[in-house]
Structures are given as structure tokens and as C-alpha cells.
């Protein structure tokens, strides 16, 4: 514009055949120059403002578009988890909740940017963006609630599976095992019966791999599960694990004690039986001696009697009887 003005002034001077520009034209030119310079400044400022506004608005629109796409992805993932039942699914939900946390952080940034832009450049377009941002915020909170609900349902389901299936199955199996060995935990019966009970216990104790396997599975599942449960849920899982461990240890201790008791009972019965056999043999010997004494007494009546010798034999038999009696009573 200034170049055009200068050309027009030069053209007028040439036509008027003037050596110098008239004062009025100089004043007019100077005034026009000032106005045009001011207009250029206003134009540059308006251009800068429009450029800044367009940049910030586009940046805000891009961020809101990203947040919308992010919400759609989270909603899609949640819809795939309607029948989820595994620990991996809980990890997926936790990842989704992390995404929602990032979404909330971006929401705060977008809200601050929009508020700042509205203060400096209020417009209808920004009002529309504000309405869209409010909708995204409400949708974000809905998704956050869905994540929390899905995670809670998964936690409840996994905890129920652990308590009602793994733990209860172990309890039922152990109860049945104890019932099958119930008669092995008492010491009634003869030697053969006690030895049979002892053998059953030994076989059962030697075959503890199934119990160890079941307990190991419960322990492994417990450790993994506690990482993803609430504090109360993790405490309950730990309590059930501790219960199973105590019950298994008590069972093994009972088996060990019963084995010892059965072995002691067997040894006592065998000693008793040996003593009974010894008494029977001794009684037979005594009966034989007494019969001999009777025969000798009859012979002595026919010949010359030796009362001293007969009394001595009877005293020896009596001493032997008393000694045997005290020995077996002591045993």
C-alpha cells in the first residue's frame, strides 16, 4: 500500500511538472503513512491472534478426538470382558483403569486450555467445544464406574472359585481320607489286625503326593490371587490357605503318632503273647512235676518213707511258683 501511495505521488509530481512535493500533499502523505502503518500493525496483531486461536483450537480438538477414540477402545475392551473369569482378565481391567486415569489427566488439561481460550477469545465455536468436553467427561466417569464394577465382579468370582472349589475340594478330600483311615487311629484288635492297620497307615503316609499337590496348587493360586484382591479379600484367602496347611500338618502328625502308638501296641501284645506261651509251657512243666510227685509219693508209701526229701521237693516247687507269679505280675 505504501508503495502504491509513493507511485501515485510521483505520478502527480510528474504531471504537474513540480520539482518538490507540495506541502499539503506531504502532510497528506505523512498522515496516510501513519494510518496505513497503524492499519498494518492492527492487521498483523489480528493475524497473530487468529493464528494462535486456530492453533490452540485445533490442538484442543485433536486432544478431544484422542480422548474419544480412547474411550471407544476402553468400552470395546470392557464389552469383551462380560464373561471374564481369569486373573489375566483382572490384569486387563487394571490396565484399562490406568488408561482411564490418563484420560482424567488429559481431561483436566483440556479443561484448563479451553477455559483459558474462552477468556481470551470467547466464541460460539468454543461454546460447542465446551459442550463436547462435558459429554466426554460424563462418558469417562461412566467408563470408570464400569471398570470398577467389572473388576469387583472378577475379584468376587475368583475369590469364590478359590474358596468354594479349591479350598472346599481339599477339605472334602481330606475328610474322606480321614474316614477311610478312621479305624487305623485306634489300637483295638489283635496283633494281626494292628499290623494290618499299621501297614495301611504306612502306605497312606508314603502316598502323600496327592495331598502335597493339592496344597501346592492352593498355595500358588493364593499368592497370585492376593495380588489382585482387596485387603479384606486377600486376608480371607490367606486365612483359608493357613487353615488348609494346618489341617494337612495335623493329619500327617496324627498319622505319625498313630503309627507310633500302633507299633507300641503291637510290641506289647507280642510280649504279652510270648509271656502267655511261657506261662503255658511252665504250667505244663509244673503239671508234669506234680504228677511225678504223686507217683513218687505212692511209691514211698509202699517202701520206707522219706518225708524230708518230699517236703524239700514241694518247697522248691512252691518257690518256683511264687517266683513265676511275681515275674509275670511285674511284667
Domain residue limits, the chain: 2-156, 181-330
Read off the DSSP letter of residue 254.
H
How far is it, in rounded angstroms, from Cα 134 to Cα 27? 58
Burial class (CB in 10 A: 0-12, 13-18, 19+), 56: middle
Residues 97, 86: Cα–Cα separation, whole Å: 17
Q: What is the pLDDT of residue 327?
A: 63
Q: CATH for 2-156, among 1.10.540.10, 1.20.58.60, 3.40.50.1820, 2.60.130.10?
A: 1.20.58.60
- Signed CA dihedral, 226, 228, 234, 237: sign only: negative
- Using alpha carbons only, what angle is made at residue 226 by residues 225 and 229, rounded to the nearest 5 degrees? 90
Could you say which residues of the chain have pLDDT below 70?
1-3, 5-6, 8-9, 12-22, 25, 29, 84, 273-275, 289-290, 293-307, 309-310, 324-331
Cell digits of residue 13: 509530481
Rounded-to-integer distance, Cα 257 and Cα 247, Å: 15
- Tell me what pLDDT residue 291 has: 72
What confidence score (pLDDT) does residue 242 get?
94
| CB contact set of 331 (below 8 Å; sequence gap of 6+) | 271, 275
Amino acid at each position: 500500500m505504501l508503495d502504491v501511495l509513493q507511485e501515485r505521488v510521483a505520478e502527480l509530481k510528474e504531471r504537474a511538472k513540480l520539482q518538490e512535493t507540495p506541502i499539503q500533499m506531504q502532510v497528506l502523505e505523512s498522515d496516510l503513512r501513519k494510518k496505513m502503518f497503524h492499519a498494518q500493525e492492527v492487521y498483523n496483531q489480528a493475524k497473530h491472534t487468529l493464528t494462535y486461536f486456530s492453533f490452540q483450537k485445533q490442538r484442543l480438538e485433536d486432544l478431544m478426538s484422542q480422548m474419544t477414540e480412547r474411550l471407544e477402545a476402553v468400552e470395546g475392551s470392557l464389552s469383551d470382558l462380560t464373561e471374564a473369569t481369569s486373573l489375566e482378565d483382572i490384569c486387563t481391567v487394571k490396565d484399562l483403569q490406568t488408561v482411564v486415569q490418563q484420560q482424567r489427566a488429559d481431561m483436566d488439561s483440556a479443561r484448563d486450555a479451553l477455559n483459558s481460550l474462552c477468556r481470551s477469545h470467547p466464541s460460539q465455536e468454543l461454546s460447542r467445544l465446551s459442550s463436547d468436553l462435558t459429554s466426554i467427561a460424563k462418558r469417562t466417569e461412566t467408563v470408570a464406574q464400569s471398570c470398577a464394577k467389572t473388576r469387583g465382579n472378577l475379584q468376587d468370582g475368583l475369590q469364590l472359585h478359590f474358596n468354594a472349589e479349591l479350598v472346599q475340594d481339599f477339605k472334602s478330600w481330606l475328610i474322606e481320607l480321614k474316614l477311610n483311615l478312621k479305624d487305623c487311629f485306634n489300637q483295638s484288635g489283635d496283633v494281626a489286625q494292628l499290623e494290618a492297620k499299621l501297614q495301611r497307615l504306612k502306605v497312606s503316609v508314603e502316598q502323600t503326593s496327592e495331598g502335597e499337590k493339592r496344597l501346592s496348587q492352593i498355595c500358588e493360586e493364593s499368592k497370585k490371587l492376593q495380588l489382585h484382591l482387596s485387603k479384606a479379600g486377600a486376608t480371607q484367602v490367606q486365612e483359608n490357605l493357613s487353615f488348609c496347611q494346618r489341617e494337612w500338618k495335623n493329619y500327617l502328625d496324627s498319622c505319625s503318632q498313630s503309627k507310633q502308638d500302633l507299633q507300641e501296641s503291637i510290641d506289647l501284645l507280642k510280649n504279652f503273647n510270648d509271656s502267655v506261651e511261657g506261662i503255658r509251657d511252665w504250667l505244663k512243666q509244673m503239671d508234669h512235676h506234680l504228677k511225678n510227685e504223686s507217683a513218687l509219693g505212692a511209691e514211698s508209701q509202699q517202701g520206707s518213707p522219706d518225708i524230708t526229701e518230699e517236703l524239700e521237693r514241694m518247697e522248691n516247687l512252691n518257690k518256683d511258683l511264687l517266683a513265676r507269679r511275681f515275674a509275670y505280675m511285674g511284667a
